[in-house]
Amino acid sequence: MINIFKKKNKQAIEQLPETSTPIQEEVILSNNIIIHTMPECFRSEHIKASQAQKMGVIIISAGIVFLIIISVLFYYFFFRSQPNKPIQTPVSTSTSIIESVKTATSTEEQLKQPDEIIATTSPILPSEESLSTSTATSTLDESNINQPADLSAGIDSDKDGLTDEEEKIFKTNFASADSDGDGYNDLVEVLSNHNPTGAGFLADNPNLIIYNNKTYNYSLLYPTVWNQSINNGDDSAMFKAGDNSFVQVITQNNNKQQTIEDWYKQQFNIEFIDQKNLIVNNDWKGIINPDGLTIYLMDISGKYLFTITYNPAASNTLNYPNLFKAMVKSFKVVK
């Protein structure tokens, strides 16, 4: 059978024209075994395949590089090219306290939020957690106070809003609006119940002390250098400065069980109360007198009425207006 196949192949090859390219080649291993191999002209095809493979790798690599370049350009134009928002820093100005003083809720999750946030330019301070906490939700500032014409403002050498006499009380720097260098205006810290000379709250200032009235269950801060006197069985507590200025707290029973608004209307024979002069606190509700020197408070239960007055005495100079506000804000009715 093998010999017949060999003869037929030889005859077919002999019949091909001389100009034809051989289709295949024969390799004789023995008399009975012949291997047919691919013609030499077709053996270069694997070189073309290798070249095509290299070309494919080059094309894929170029495509990857192109995609990376497009991604970088996309990121730059749509992200890096966006303008950065300006960082707002606290502004230490005494005018900020005229805008608004609002109270924030004191919680453990809001350790950097003040009892009272000064609007617009005021910094954010830690919340108060001591007995001297004030959580008033309305205003107690200069915008709703008409200074009496016969009184003059105290000297303020460094223009930080605190008078020089108040600087003596708090032991702040007369020549600096930020005595402790923490970035917060001295007056802003005082009115937000924080220590202007260091860390902590206003009650942590060694120049202030807490007065506790056990008869009527209230407390407030006052300067340690001021004289304290109690009269009429704790009905009247007076805190007196060296220039005879004083702050006085007078307590009386609310026998008629009136609201603070009704009592004020009856006391001064008026029909309406300016809402901007109302103060609401967790412990009390109050009304500021138009001259800003007297505040009437009533505890939430309506049991007592407290009258807190700042009297500049014979000097006719308001040396302690901000200290007076701080004392009122520290006023707390102990439940």
Whether 89 is covered by a domain: the verdict is no
d(CA 231, CA 183): 42
- The set of residues, in sequence order, having a beta carbon less than 8 Å from that of 182 and lying 6+ positions away, is none
Residue 328 CA: distances (Å) to CA of 32, 72, 211, 302: 124, 61, 12, 18
Please report, to the nearest 10 degrees, the dihedral formed by the alpha carbons of residues 140, 144, 145, 149 taken in order: 170
- The set of residues, in sequence order, having a beta carbon less than 8 Å from that of 154 and lying 6+ positions away, is 163, 164, 165, 166, 317, 318, 319, 320, 321
Single-letter amino acid code for the residue at 284: W
Q: How high is the pLDDT of residue 54?
A: 78
Whether 24 is covered by a domain: the verdict is yes
109 with 16, same domain? no
Whether 68 is covered by a domain: the verdict is no
288 with 140, same domain? yes
Q: How high is the pLDDT of residue 188?
A: 92
Residue 248 CA: distances (Å) to CA of 28, 146, 164, 217, 332: 130, 20, 22, 16, 15
Whether 53 is covered by a domain: the verdict is no
12 with 139, same domain? no
d(CA 200, CA 180): 12
104 with 19, same domain? no
Whether 16 is covered by a domain: the verdict is yes
299 with 194, same domain? yes
Q: Minimal CA–CA distance to 107: which of 126, 123, 134? A: 126
Q: Minimal CA–CA distance to 286: which of 294, 297, 277? A: 297
35 with 175, same domain? no
pTM of the model: 0.60
pLDDT in tens, 232-289: 888 999 999 999 999 999 999 999 999 999 999 999 999 999 988 998 888 899 999 9
27 with 102, same domain? no
Whether 230 is covered by a domain: the verdict is yes
In three-state secondary structure terms, 105 is coil
Task: Please give the sequence-ordered ranges of beta strands (E in DSSP) within 15-173, or none if there are none.
Answer: 25-28, 34-37, 101-103, 116-118, 152-153
Q: How high is the pLDDT of residue 203?
A: 93
35 with 113, same domain? no
d(CA 285, CA 333): 11
Tokens 């009297």 belong to 311
Q: Which residue numbers in the chain have pLDDT < 70? A: 1-50, 76-147, 149
Check if the beta carbon of residue 288 is closer than 8 Å to that of residue 277. Answer: yes
> Total structural domains in the chain?
2
Q: How high is the pLDDT of residue 60?
A: 86
d(CA 301, CA 285): 10
Q: How high is the pLDDT of residue 313?
A: 85
24 with 129, same domain? no
175 with 299, same domain? yes
Whether 59 is covered by a domain: the verdict is no
185 with 286, same domain? yes
Q: Minimal CA–CA distance to 118: which of 191, 198, 203? A: 191
Q: How high is the pLDDT of residue 122?
A: 38
Check if the beta carbon of residue 239 is closer than 8 Å to that of residue 248. Answer: yes
- The set of residues, in sequence order, having a beta carbon less than 8 Å from that of 150 and lying 6+ positions away, is 316
Whether 12 is covered by a domain: the verdict is yes
Q: Minimal CA–CA distance to 254: which of 209, 288, 304? A: 304
Q: How high is the pLDDT of residue 307?
A: 96
The residue segments making up the domain with residue 170 are 96-333
